[in-house]
Amino acid sequence: MAPPLITNMASGGCLLFFLLFSSFSALSFALTDAEVAFIAHRQLLALPEDGDLPENYEVQVDAKLNFENDRLKNAYVALQALKKAIFSDPFGFTVNWEGEDVCSYKGVFCAPALDDEKLTVVAGLDLNHADIAGHLPVEMGLLTDAALIHLNSNRFCGIIPRSFRRLILMHEFDVSNNRFVGSFPEVVLEWPSCKYLDLRFNDFEGELPPELFHKEHDALFLNHNRFTSIIPDTLGHSTVSVVNFGFNNFTGCIPRSIGNMKNLNEIIFMNNQLGGCFPPEIGNLGNLQVLDVSNNVFIGSFPKTFLELRSIEELAVGYNRLTGFVTEKICSLPKLANFTFAYNYFSGEAQKCMPNPKNKVKFDDTGNCMPGRPKQKNTKTCFPVVTKPVDCSKHCGGGSSTPDKPKTPRPQPPQTPKTEKPPTPKAEPPPTPKAEPPPTPKVESPPTPKAEPPPTPKAEPPPTPKAEPPPTPKAEPPPTPKAEPPKTPEAEQTSEAEPPQTPEVEPPQTPEVEPPQTPEAEPPKTPEAEPPKTPEAEPPQTPEVKPPPTPKVEPPPTPKAEPPPTPKAEPPPTPKAEPPPTPKVDLSCVYC
């Protein structure tokens, strides 16, 4: 018998070796991007053009091999093709995948066929946590008796082949925690009896097909992918008890049809771009135990129907833009154990909702706008949100899942200013300057000069795009005065940069037509309607233009008298300037 010291040293050495090996395994088996690309390329080269097997596909094997039935022969072909598609098998899961006895292969399960108990078939494949790197060959479509395929926590790349549509007995399909890519694998929609579908932790992208929620799934995991669509309104048809949409790029609102999901126990929306108000139909989910909508952009407050969530245990709404008051009733739901409403814009809460170590319920109210509570937002941050009322009737509170996107065409409203209608009403002010007898006739004269100096209109078109963008935003309200004064002094500069000023001169220069009030001193120089234009031909008169700047405080209104004509040419630029407006759920028990 070995001395205790030697035994302890031996056991300690084994433990150290095990830890070192485990660390090495964790660090050395990750695929590089180059390896992923290589494996995906291998799959593309091996796949038929349509990713499916020919209808008349003939299975060919070594004549020396004897199989109990053709289905086992097909399974042999499928599994050997999978073995050849493996790039790395660090734990040797497929080492014994040799010979015709496929039922002895590690990870392969056989059972009597459902349609003929006398036949033994491959009913399942379980390679969970094998850390295998490779791709799925098209021949796997030959496993037509498989009801279970578990491939989670491996390093499979590429796509789910079209040939998988043949696996019509599929009941559980788990390819989570791999590196699959492409759009949603619609082959799974052709499995009539699939109950468990797990696609999480991959790189699937694009839209979710509405048909997905017409399938009779019990558990559906879509989290940690790259899906970007709205959540279809067909959601309410789903029979799932657990569904996870988290960590994607879903937009829009929660569909109202969610209230029809009578079997629903857990639903996760966290870490997306979902918004709008909560649909009141959520209150119909009497069996709901977990609701997580954190890290989105929801607005509004809790619907009164939330008080009907009598089975809710976990309620997480943190990191949104919710407002209002957190009532005692919602904090007193009978089975509530954890309620997180941190980092919103709630302005108050009932005493019952305040975090307290003595409470059985865990509350988190940090990062809100509650006076007197610790770790809240400052007033400057809260005021713009808290004081802005939310109309949920316009924010998906009771509408479809497509939210405020239609409002994105907000660039169109800015186009209305393109007509510069505001200036047209301001056309009334011009009469005030017209009240000055001398200027009024001069207002009429400007048009004539406009005909006289054709060059100015020639300069006007180009300038309008260049000068108008800045003026338009600024020119609508106060900027007009700001635009005119500087420009009149800049009349000297117009010699070099008249184009920019001329545009502004045109709208504001009309006022400069009023500045022609300088003609009040020199009536004959009424062409001072050309002051802006004078820089082109009468630089000496520019000094006289400078005196008018003082009265140009009055001109601002008048420019708006003639803007209507100019805007017709100016609108195009304005649009170009306007555009700126521009798993918590542990499912290990689901099938225990």
Residue 528 near residue 505, CB atoms below 8 Å: no
Rg (CA), the chain: 37
**How far is it, in rounded angstroms, from Cα 549 to Cα 479?**
15
Asked if residue 439 belongs to a domain, the reply is no
In this prediction, residue 179 carries a pLDDT of 97
Is residue 338 domain-shared with residue 254, that is, in the same domain? yes
Q: Which among 563, 573, 564 is positioned nearest to 465, based on CA atoms?
A: 573
Asked if residue 537 belongs to a domain, the reply is no
**How far is it, in rounded angstroms, from Cα 229 to Cα 249?**
7
Is residue 275 domain-shared with residue 148, that is, in the same domain? no
Is residue 230 domain-shared with residue 373, that is, in the same domain? yes
Asked if residue 538 belongs to a domain, the reply is no
Is residue 115 domain-shared with residue 259, that is, in the same domain? no
In this prediction, residue 405 carries a pLDDT of 44
Supply the angle between the helices 494-504 and 479-487 in degrees, to the nearest 10.
150
Asked if residue 57 belongs to a domain, the reply is yes
Asked if residue 442 belongs to a domain, the reply is no
Give the pLDDT means over successive 10-residue stretches in the chain (592 positions).
42 39 42 60 54 77 90 97 96 97 98 97 98 96 98 97 96 98 97 98 98 98 98 98 99 98 98 98 98 98 97 98 98 98 98 94 98 96 94 71 45 46 44 42 40 40 40 41 40 38 42 42 42 41 43 43 42 40 41 36
DSSP H/E element including 274: strand 273-276
CATH code (residue 382): 3.80.10.10
Q: What pTM was computed for the model?
A: 0.63
Asked if residue 288 belongs to a domain, the reply is yes
Is residue 118 domain-shared with residue 156, that is, in the same domain? yes
How would DSSP label each residue in 530-547? STTTHHHH-TTHHHHHST
Under DSSP, the state recorded for 116 is -
Is residue 225 domain-shared with residue 164, that is, in the same domain? no
Is residue 53 domain-shared with residue 37, that is, in the same domain? yes
Is residue 340 domain-shared with residue 369, that is, in the same domain? yes
Of the residues 150, 184, 206, the one at which a domain ends: 206
Asked if residue 456 belongs to a domain, the reply is no
Asked if residue 485 belongs to a domain, the reply is no
Q: How many domains does the chain have?
A: 3
Is residue 281 domain-shared with residue 298, that is, in the same domain? yes
Question: What residue numbers bound the domain in which 79 lies?
Answer: 31-206
Is residue 82 domain-shared with residue 115, that is, in the same domain? yes
In this prediction, residue 385 carries a pLDDT of 96
Is residue 159 domain-shared with residue 227, that is, in the same domain? no
Of the residues 350, 371, 403, the one at which a domain ends: 403
Is residue 232 domain-shared with residue 178, that is, in the same domain? no
Of the residues 403, 418, 436, the one at which a domain ends: 403
